[in-house]
Amino acid sequence: MASRKESSVGHKTTVNGPLAVKNTTTAVVSAARHKRPFSELLQNDRLVPTNEVSTFRRHFQRPSLTETRPQILKASEVCDCENNCRPQDPATDYSQRKKLQLTPTPASDPLLHLSHPCYNLLPGLVQNFVNLGIHSIYPWQSKCLRGRGLLNGKRNLVYSAPTGGGKSLVADVLMLKTVIENPEKKAILVLPYVALVQEKTRWLRRAVEGIQKKQSDVVNNQQHSLWRKRGDENSVRVVGFFGGSRSTANWTDMDIAVCTIEKANSLINTAIDDCTVSNLGVVVIDELHMIDDDHRGYLLELLGTKLLSLEQKVQIIGMSATLQNPEILAQWLNNALYYESKYRPVPVEEHLVFDNTVYAAASSSSFYKTATQLQLTQSKTAAQAVPAPLRIIKYSEHSELKNPLINAVVALANETARAGYGALVFCSSRTGCETDALLISQVLPRGEEVSQDLMRERRDLMHDLRSSSTGLDPVLEKTIPYGVGFHHAGLTIEERDIVATAYDNGIIKVIVATCSLAAGINLPARRVILHGARMGADLVGPAMLRQMRGRAGRKGKDEIGETYLCCQKSDLEAVATLMEAEIPVIESCLLPGKRGLKRALLEVIATRLATSAGSVDDYIKKTLLYHSIHGDELSDMVKSTLKELSADGLITNDCGSEFEATTLGLAVTASSLGPEDGLFVNRELKKALRAFVMDGDLHVLYTFTPVQVTQSKVDWQVFRKEMDHLDESSLRVMSFVGVKPSLVNKMAQGGIMKEGSLADEEVARIYKRFYTALQLRDLCNEMPIHAVARKYDLPRGSVQNLAQTCHGFAAGMIKFCERMGWAALGAVLDHFSDRLKAGAKADLLALAEITYVKSRTARIFWDNGYKNVGAVAAADIKELLPVLLMAQPKKPRLDAAEEEQYHQKLLLKAEIISKSANRVWDRMMQAEVEEE
């Protein structure tokens, strides 16, 4: 066996070293002949919903009496090559940093501490940063913050820094400084994904804990004018906004709004409409490169252009790790200050893995050279020398690991975990994630190799997942005991949060994820392993590749990061090209052939930021589009788009005077829809006004189903089966919305839905919406998420995301009806909106306000005598335990010790439920007192 000791010079493989595990014995208690109480069987059996029975029986599996133990495999050894430590090899970033401190400290440069007077931050805020692990800042952050006009909010900023380079802190300091020093001013932070919004909201709340805003005469006068103070006017209030969250917003409720792109645009439209936008002081746009995204990028451009069109100054801060042409963005944002940093606090070494061999690639160019030389050598068309390998991965004798690509991924992940570090494996699909997770779990330490403390933490983790709303995933049940998890959109938000937290705490050593994790959540790793260069059928783009590789290296935990791109022979040439490819330049999403300009002009006219030909022209000059296209072509585009809006009945321009949004145009804008989707919704709601089915809930749920379901997967066999069981009320809904049973039967027999024309696309959209509405119907009738997912053959996370998306879309439909003057229809939709949020029938809406008490859990509380919030609030915590046990998904039989731990977890959950019930009950009683 080759030596695995680190050399003092040349390349270093940082995970080589002694095993970071304790050799202790773990006690195992047999579960054989462990008798289940009859009451438990009775409780579980009687609580299966009637509409779920057939599905439950079809998928029933008898619980195992013993622990499920996956097959044990042996990972291939990764051996150093003799040449990887040659003295003539150039020193790496890592070896240089071992000898030279490249990051100054506040001791040598006082400007690197946020307490320095030049930043003028409150001592309490500086201390909160310290509590969050930020003891000092980097030189580039200090230089960027001290750019002229930034700290006083007078100048906009566009900046770029590598992932993990600390770019978020710059925006956080500028944003918090504005809000604290100007108490009448508000801030909006725009993030692309819900997970990032939730994570950042939690972080900012910790950052401002105990912080009081500076007071001004304006704010004091406003407070004295209120008949009753809230009590938290002086604190910094952080609120998250995303699909399924609050549908209304008021500046008095918050100081910092952390929003998804869609919510931020809607929030700014509302503020402009009600003339409160003057309260807005700063807007931060993270992942600014997404302005080029085909689906959502135009919203960022609309948002930024509206801010530039306001009379008052709003500081705009944009940041990204992947900007190819930032100059045009800085020019667009009123000649914003631009700053670029290449600094990474943790250096990263890059590798290419091919045919069980590891090659070095310290930069894209050398990576390209290595891959190209390998490709030429493989094709035997070049006589040049093969690049010198650094390490060799031995071939495996196991049939499961015969494929060199899979063997490399498993071996590298195993080596990392056994050395005590974290590994992040990116895979091309959800199925691939679970397959890789199972294989990796089969080679990791088990039994006496793992400390009892770590095994106890992993058992606690499984109890956390088991007590979640969907129960313990069967694949996670097999992998978590060995320190492996996976993370993809098929998991619920709760499951993803639990797994991610466990990885961050070191309980899980390896996470296998789809590429969405790279941009969707902050989980860095010592070693990032890419299982191929494809995500799905296509090669990853250079920007996404940089995002994934950027997760390598954890500041404070690792002194180096490593990336391994494992590729197969057929992709080697493509990988060479990919590694050499530049990140695409940013361009406007309002360009011809893209859909944004029509919505941009409708919104600016509806919010009255531009109402004449001249003001529209001024607005267009503030867009990124203006910097991307010739003036004459742009002028023609604007004129033709305005004519289309007028022809669609969204705006008027009587006698060529001022532009004005029609009632329909105002309704489309208020509902946060694009013009095309808004016109479709208008046609659908007009049909509902002529004939709306009120003796059931399916018609309302169809109305709440988002129009953007064109990519929805329809299982026509399931569709036909559900259609055959619809009652008379639901059949009338089918008829009114335009769903024909004959076409459903034809599709179930193998037919193809036509989508060649706009008319065909609209028909297809109606069928897809109706099919999705059937899923919503089941959710609102208290069928658990996991049961709905099983019934329609969908991932649990997709079903949960549907419920959240529909809740946000429902709020838009209610606004649409209000603007159109359809008060009766709006009232009906508003009532059902609460049901959609609760996932329960009307009698459970009050109970569903309690934390953790939703849908089926609320029904079980009701059936067991807790029919109102007061009853739950008055109950002893131990009295709630049997009810929670009934509400849990079916679980395998556990031994006595694990059963007790499981009960303790549920007791903690019961305590949270009790506290929440008391808060809700107090609020209800206070409301009654005020009404009297």
- 604 and 527 within one domain: no
Confidence class for position 761, pLDDT limits 50, 70, 90: confident
- 315 and 197 within one domain: yes
Tens-digit pLDDT profile for residues 230-285:
555 788 999 998 865 444 556 778 899 999 998 999 899 888 888 889 999 999 99
The CA–CA distances, whole Å, from 118 to 112, 115, 150, 172, 324 equal 11, 8, 12, 16, 32
pLDDT at res. 536 = 67
Cα torsion at 217, 220, 226, 228 (round to 10°)?
180
- 793 and 668 within one domain: yes
| Residue where a domain terminates, one of 815, 839, 863 | 839
Task: Give, for 171, the enclosing helix (H) or strand (E).
Answer: helix 167-181
**What span, in angstroms and rounded, lies between the C-alpha atoms of 512 and 630?**
47
Q: What is the 3-state secondary structure (H, E, C) of 2-46?
A: CCCCCCCCCCCCCCCCCCCCCCCCCCCCCCCCCCCCHHHHHHHHH
List all residues 6 or more positions away from 699 whose beta carbon is below 8 Å from its beta carbon: 688, 692, 693, 733, 736, 737
Domain assignment of residue 291, yes or no: yes
Spell 446-482 as b/e; 16+ CB within 10 A means b. Answer: beeebbeebbeebbbbbbbbbbbbbbbbebbbbbbbb
- 874 and 827 within one domain: no
Helices 896-931 + 877-887 axis angle, to 10: 110
- 847 and 791 within one domain: no
**What span, in angstroms and rounded, lies between the C-alpha atoms of 84 and 95?**
14
Confidence class for position 5, pLDDT limits 50, 70, 90: very low
Amino acid found at 766? I
pLDDT at res. 70 = 54
Domain assignment of residue 655, yes or no: no
Q: Which residue has the higher pLDDT, 99 or 605?
A: 605
Q: What is the pTM of this model?
A: 0.79
8 Å CB contact between 247 and 168: no
Q: Does position 749 have pLDDT exceeding 90, yes or no?
A: yes
Q: Which residue has the higher pLDDT, 285 or 369?
A: 285
Amino acid found at 141? Q
List all residues 6 or more positions away from 781 whose beta carbon is below 8 Å from its beta carbon: 49, 51, 841
**What span, in angstroms and rounded, lies between the C-alpha atoms of 852 and 846?**
13
Average pLDDT for 223-232? 47
Average pLDDT for 874-896? 80
Average pLDDT for 497-525? 83
- 227 and 148 within one domain: yes
For the chain, give the percent of residues with pLDDT over 70: 82
- 166 and 221 within one domain: yes
pLDDT at res. 363 = 54
Domain assignment of residue 95, yes or no: no
Amino acid found at 295? H
Helix boundaries (H) for 317-429: 326-332, 364-379, 404-418
Tens-digit pLDDT profile for residues 397-445:
899 999 999 999 999 999 999 998 999 999 888 888 999 999 999 999 9
Amino acid found at 822? W
β-pairing, 256-260 vs 238-241, is parallel
Confidence class for position 90, pLDDT limits 50, 70, 90: very low
Average pLDDT for 591-617? 87
Q: Does position 205 have pLDDT exceeding 90, yes or no?
A: yes
Q: Which residue has the higher pLDDT, 807 or 872?
A: 872
Q: Does position 694 have pLDDT exceeding 70, yes or no?
A: yes
Q: Does position 890 have pLDDT exceeding 60, yes or no?
A: yes
pLDDT at res. 711 = 53
Domain assignment of residue 77, yes or no: no
8 Å CB contact between 376 and 368: no
User: Which tokens is 785 given?
Assistant: 């998420």
- 259 and 239 within one domain: yes
Q: Which residue has the higher pLDDT, 99 or 392?
A: 392
**What span, in angstroms and rounded, lies between the C-alpha atoms of 786 and 623?**
45
Q: Does position 929 have pLDDT exceeding 50, yes or no?
A: yes
Tens-digit pLDDT profile for residues 513-526:
887 666 666 778 88
**What span, in angstroms and rounded, lies between the C-alpha atoms of 913 and 922?**
14
Question: Which of these ranges, 90-94, 528-532, 539-543, 554-558, has the smallest mean pLDDT?
Answer: 90-94
pLDDT at res. 96 = 38
Q: Which residue has the higher pLDDT, 219 or 114?
A: 114
β-pairing, 660-661 vs 256-260, is unpaired
Q: Does position 853 have pLDDT exceeding 90, yes or no?
A: no
Q: Does position 332 have pLDDT exceeding 70, yes or no?
A: yes
Taking the CB of residue 858, how many other CB atoms lie within 10 A of it?
A: 27
Long-range contacts from 625-628, C-beta under 8 angstroms, 24+ separation: 625/301, 625/588, 625/590, 625/591, 625/597, 627/328, 627/331, 627/332, 627/588, 628/328, 628/587, 628/588, 628/591
Q: Which residue has the higher pLDDT, 277 or 14?
A: 277
DSSP structure class, residue 227: S
Domain assignment of residue 75, yes or no: no
Arithmetic mean of pLDDT over the chain? 81
8 Å CB contact between 70 and 435: no
**What span, in angstroms and rounded, lies between the C-alpha atoms of 289 and 137?**
25
Confidence class for position 578, pLDDT limits 50, 70, 90: confident
User: Which tokens is 194 given?
Assistant: 């819900």
- 845 and 828 within one domain: no
Ramachandran quadrant class, 22 (left: phi over 0; alpha: psi -120 to 50; beta: rest): beta
Confidence class for position 380, pLDDT limits 50, 70, 90: low
Angle of CA points 695, 697, 698, to nearest 5°: 110
pLDDT at res. 249 = 52
| Residue where a domain terminates, one of 298, 322, 340 | 340
CATH of the domain at 203: 3.40.50.300
pLDDT at res. 736 = 94
Q: Does position 60 have pLDDT exceeding 50, yes or no?
A: no
**What span, in angstroms and rounded, lies between the C-alpha atoms of 18 and 421?**
12
Q: Does position 220 have pLDDT exceeding 70, yes or no?
A: no
Q: Which residue has the higher pLDDT, 602 or 897?
A: 602
Q: Does position 601 have pLDDT exceeding 90, yes or no?
A: yes
Range of the domain at 359: 348-580
pLDDT at res. 362 = 62
pLDDT at res. 15 = 55
- E strands, 286-407, where? 315-320, 337-340, 348-354, 357-360, 391-393
**What span, in angstroms and rounded, lies between the C-alpha atoms of 741 and 724?**
9
Domain assignment of residue 290, yes or no: yes
Q: Among 913, 683, 685, 927, which residue's Cα sits nearest to residue 814?
A: 685
For the chain, give the percent of residues with pLDDT over 90: 36
Average pLDDT for 620-635? 87
Confidence class for position 163, pLDDT limits 50, 70, 90: confident
Tens-digit pLDDT profile for residues 119-161:
999 999 999 999 998 999 999 999 999 999 999 999 999 999 8
**What span, in angstroms and rounded, lies between the C-alpha atoms of 113 and 481?**
42
191: which strand partners? 260
Q: What is the DSSP string of 771-824?
A: HHHHHHHHHHTT--HHHHHHHTT--HHHHHHHHHHHHHHHHHHHHHHHHHT-HH
Average pLDDT for 173-180? 96
Q: Does position 719 have pLDDT exceeding 80, yes or no?
A: yes
Domain assignment of residue 600, yes or no: yes
Total of domains in the chain? 5
8 Å CB contact between 773 and 701: yes
- 363 and 291 within one domain: no
pLDDT at res. 845 = 80
Domain assignment of residue 515, yes or no: yes
- 552 and 435 within one domain: yes
The sign of the dihedral angle between the CA atoms of 294, 296, 302, 303 is: negative
Tens-digit pLDDT profile for residues 272-324:
888 889 999 999 999 898 888 877 888 999 999 999 999 889 999 999 887 87
Confidence class for position 567, pLDDT limits 50, 70, 90: confident
pLDDT at res. 54 = 38
8 Å CB contact between 433 and 486: yes
pLDDT at res. 453 = 92
Average pLDDT for 680-704? 91
User: Reading across the β-sheet that carries 510-513, which strands appear in turn?
Assistant: 78-80, 391-393, 357-360, 348-354, 561-567, 527-531, 423-426, 510-513, 484-487
- 671 and 569 within one domain: no
Tens-digit pLDDT profile for residues 827-848:
888 877 777 777 777 788 888 8
Average pLDDT for 383-395? 76
CATH of the domain at 806: 1.10.3380.30
190: which strand partners? 259, 285
**What span, in angstroms and rounded, lies between the C-alpha atoms of 371 and 361?**
9
pLDDT at res. 279 = 92
pLDDT at res. 23 = 40
